[in-house]
Amino acid sequence: MKMVLNQIIFKTCLFVLFVFVFVGCYNTGTGEVTWGPAINFKLPAFPETGSHQVMVFSEMHYSPSYRSQEVPRILPPKDSVPVTGAELVSFEIEEIKEWKIPGNVKSDFDIDNAAKIYNYNCAVCHGTDLEGQGPITSILSGRNDGSLAYGPDDGAAPVNLNSERVWELSDGEIFAYITWGGRPGYSSAKRGKDSPAIMPMFKYLLSEEDRWELVEYLRVWHGENR
Ligand code: HEC
Percent of the chain with pLDDT over 90: 49
20 and 100 fall within a common domain = no
Is 99 near ligand 1, meaning CB less than 6 Å away?
Answer: no
What are the φ and ψ backbone dihedral angles of 41, each rounded to 5 degrees? -95, 105
Residue 106 CA to ligand 1 centre (angstroms): 22
Residue where one domain finishes, among candidates 48, 66, 81 = 48
- Give the mean model confidence (pLDDT) for residues 9-16: 78
- Distance between alpha carbon 173 and the CA centroid of its chain, in Å? 24
44 and 103 fall within a common domain = no
Residue 145 CA to ligand 1 centre (angstroms): 26
Nearest alpha carbon, ligand 1 atom 31: 182
Q: Which of 126, 166, 183 to mutate to test the pocket of ligand 1 (most atoms within 8 A of CB)?
A: 126
Residues 166-224: tens digit of each pLDDT = 999 999 999 999 999 999 999 999 999 988 888 999 998 999 999 999 999 999 999 99
pLDDT at 97 over 80: yes
Q: What is the pLDDT of residue 62?
A: 59
Give the N- to C-terminal CA distance of the chain in Å, as an integer: 104
Q: What is the pLDDT of residue 11?
A: 85
The answer as to whether 62 is a domain residue is no
The 10 Å Cβ neighbour count of residue 186 is 21
- Give the mean model confidence (pLDDT) for residues 37-62: 58
Q: What is the pLDDT of residue 58?
A: 57
Is 182 near ligand 1, meaning CB less than 6 Å away?
Answer: yes
The answer as to whether 70 is a domain residue is no
**CA 146, 133, 121, 153 torsion: positive or negative?**
negative
Atom of ligand 1 nearest to the CA of 124: 5
Looking at the structure of the chain, the number of domains it has is 2
Is 201 near ligand 1, meaning CB less than 6 Å away?
Answer: no
- The residue type found at 193 is K
Q: What is the pLDDT of residue 14?
A: 77
99 and 171 fall within a common domain = yes
Q: What is the pLDDT of residue 19?
A: 67
Q: Is 33 helix (H, G, I), strand (E, B) or coil?
A: strand
Q: What is the pLDDT of residue 34?
A: 73
Residue 158 CA to ligand 1 centre (angstroms): 6
Cβ proximity of 204 and 90 under 8 Å? no
pLDDT at 24 over 90: no
Q: Which domain holds residue 208?
A: 93-225
The answer as to whether 102 is a domain residue is yes
141 and 33 fall within a common domain = no
216 and 135 fall within a common domain = yes
pTM exceeding the 0.85 threshold for the entire prediction: no
Nearest alpha carbon, ligand 1 atom 7: 199
User: How far is residue 26's CA from residue 30's CA, in Å, rounded to a whole number?
Assistant: 9
Residue 70 CA to ligand 1 centre (angstroms): 41
CATH number, domain containing residue 159? 1.10.760
Cβ proximity of 35 and 25 under 8 Å? yes
38 and 117 fall within a common domain = no
Residue where one domain finishes, among candidates 48, 64, 85 = 48
The answer as to whether 86 is a domain residue is no
Residue 156 CA to ligand 1 centre (angstroms): 10
Element (H, E) at 12: helix 2-22
The answer as to whether 145 is a domain residue is yes
Across the chain, mean pLDDT equals 83
The answer as to whether 166 is a domain residue is yes
DSSP string, 150-199: TSGGGT-PPP-SSSHHHHTS-HHHHHHHHHHTHHHHHHHHHTT----SSS
| DSSP state letter for 123 | H
pLDDT band at 74 (very low <50, low <70, confident <90, very high): confident
User: How far is residue 203's CA from residue 134's CA, in Å, rounded to a whole number?
Assistant: 22
pLDDT at 98 over 70: yes
pLDDT at 130 over 90: yes
